[in-house]
Structure 1
Amino acid sequence: MSRTVRGPLARRLHTLVWLLPASGVKNRLLRRFGHVIARDASLGSCVVLTLGHLHAGERALIAAGSFVRGIREMVLSDDAAVGPWNILTAHPAFQHEGENGVLWVGAHAVITSRHSIDCSGRVVLGAFSSVGGHGTQVLSHEVDFTGPVQTCADIEIGDHSFVGTRCTVLSGARLPDRSVLAAGSLLRRGPDEGAGLYTGSPARRKQALDGAWFHRPVGQTRSLCDRSGQVLHGAF
């Protein structure tokens, strides 16, 4: 069972520990606050004001420089990665329901860098999926103008799917498994149109897609090729 960090002194100490560079000592200290962290997880120096519970699996990574506030539960599955300079937040007003305030990053899934993810509802990034490029906004709460009230809903990015740079993903949206949300698109809740390329504002399915990327056995795409399509030695 998770244990929330309570009391002003404990919260300050918790924030200070998160400012330390990645190390086994840092992992052990964070376990003292009730987090579940694999021995080979790497948790870089981040500004973490409030984080109720972290479960970091084998080889999970949080790179240095991210900002975390208000998240009740964060799960990084084995080989999941959160890159630098991301903003990960949730509003505590929605956390009276147990499924809210959650960020779940599946096995081998990647959030690259400089994205803003609102986890006031529940945000799920499926296994082997990526939020790529930079500048994408994921917003799991919204204003219901008929209320008028603010509401939240789950957002799900399916397995082996890709969200391109500078996209907007709104409350209640779902990108199907093995799909791509093209750069600059807006995804909102709607009927599931099946796997494929989604583009536009609002995004609509344009065509079917397939390729080795959607079936790869590892997470981040590190191979390089030249302009002729020849695969180069080395990795990104």
Structure 2
Amino acid sequence: MKSALQILLVLLPQSLKRLVAHRLLGWEIHPTAHLGRSLIRVGRLTMGPSASIGPWNVIKDLDEVHLAEGAAIATRNSITGIAGTSGIFTHSPNRRPALVMGRFSMITNAHDIDCSDLVEFADYAVLAGFRSQILTHSLNLVQDRFVTGPVRLGEHCAVMSGCTILSGMQVPDRSIISAGSVITTKLTAEHTFYRGNPAEAVRDLPPTLKYFHREGLQHQVAAEIESWRAAQSQRTG
């Protein structure tokens, strides 16, 4: 029954989405939040003021998805996990299959995110561009067992197109990751530009960089959502 309701949400208008999500699924969607035509099959979904999930995303098999105020998931993203009750990853008993997005953080277009363990976006963190991968599980070759590790993107960081972030890694606050980079170790230095495979510090970035002080992106997010809707209407019209 629950799975059928979650599939039905894809087709319902906004007013009915909130009603069904709240009363029948126990989800919490703020009246100003936007839930597009995306398949969402998760244990619990909470969306704060002005949060948005655009069309054509697949978000499934997570215990929890939380979008704080103004957080946004754009379109054509694959965000998948393995539920905590599955009995898989017995060597990672404390794993948390969840996506937690801080205020005005953003996932743009066509990314693949593995939420076998926690993926956390701090406030204003952005997974930008296209086709990056975040992995939270891996094969431990020494012990020949699958294990998981959470991934965190720090405040006001930006990860550009085509990057790969491996399990257990972190992106520091106020840092920029160049397109095509691979993060295989925990990066620590803030105000730093990273690049390469493996990603290494290239140069310092000025604390005055405007990106590091961005505020209140709700109008920008709303404009992006409207542009996606318009594009889809033209394709289907």
What per-residue deviation string (whole Å, max 9, x for no partner) do you get for residues 38-77 of structure 1?
Answer: 11110001123x3000110001000010011211100100
User: Do structure 1's residue 134 and structure 2's residue 130 form an aligned pair?
Assistant: yes
Which residue number in structure 2 is paired with residue 41 of structure 1? 33
For 2:219 and 2:157, locate their aligned partners in 1 and report how far apart those are by CA, in whole Å: 13
For 1:22 and 1:128, locate their aligned partners in 2 and report how far apart those are by CA, in whole Å: 29
Which residue number in structure 2 is paired with residue 83 of structure 1? 74
Contact 2:159 2:177 in 1 (8 A): yes
For 1:112 and 1:221, locate their aligned partners in 2 and report how far apart those are by CA, in whole Å: 16
Q: Give how far 1:195 is off.
A: 3.2
For 1:22 and 1:134, locate their aligned partners in 2 and report how far apart those are by CA, in whole Å: 28
Q: Which has the higher helix share?
A: 2
Contact 2:174 2:190 in 1 (8 A): no
User: Do structure 1's residue 165 and structure 2's residue 168 form an aligned pair?
Assistant: no
For 1:191 and 1:45, locate their aligned partners in 2 and report how far apart those are by CA, in whole Å: 36
For 1:52 and 1:98, locate their aligned partners in 2 and report how far apart those are by CA, in whole Å: 17
Which residue number in structure 1 is paired with residue 11 of structure 2? 20
Q: 1:27 to 1:221 in 2, by over 3 A?
A: closer
Which residue number in structure 2 is paired with residue 212 of structure 1? 210
Which residue number in structure 1 is paired with residue 139 of structure 2? 143
For 2:43 and 2:78, locate their aligned partners in 1 and report how far apart those are by CA, in whole Å: 16
Pairwise mapping of residues 1-236 of structure 1 onto structure 2 (< 5 A)? 9-17=1-9, 19-20=10-11, 23-32=14-23, 33-48=25-40, 50-92=41-83, 93-94=88-89, 97=93, 99-190=95-186, 192-210=188-206, 211-219=209-217
Q: Alignment identity in percent?
A: 28
Contact 1:110 1:220 in 2 (8 A): no
For 2:179 and 2:169, locate their aligned partners in 1 and report how far apart those are by CA, in whole Å: 16
Q: Which runs of 5+ in 2 are unaligned?
A: 221-226, 228-237
Task: Give the letter aligned to residue 187 of structure 1.
Answer: I
Query: Size of the alignment, in residue pairs?
Result: 213
CA RMSD, 1 decimal = 2.0
Q: Which runs of 4+ in 1 moved over 4 A?
A: 94-99
Task: Give the letter aligned to residue 56 of structure 2.
Answer: G
Q: Which runs of 5+ in 1 are unaligned?
A: 1-8, 223-234
Q: Give how far 1:14 is off.
A: 2.1
Contact 1:87 1:117 in 2 (8 A): yes
What per-residue deviation string (whole Å, max 9, x for no partner) do you get for residues 66-109 of structure 1?
Answer: 01121110010000000010000012324984651010111001
TM-score of the superposition, structure 1-length normalised? 0.85
Task: Give the letter aligned to residue 106 of structure 1.
Answer: G
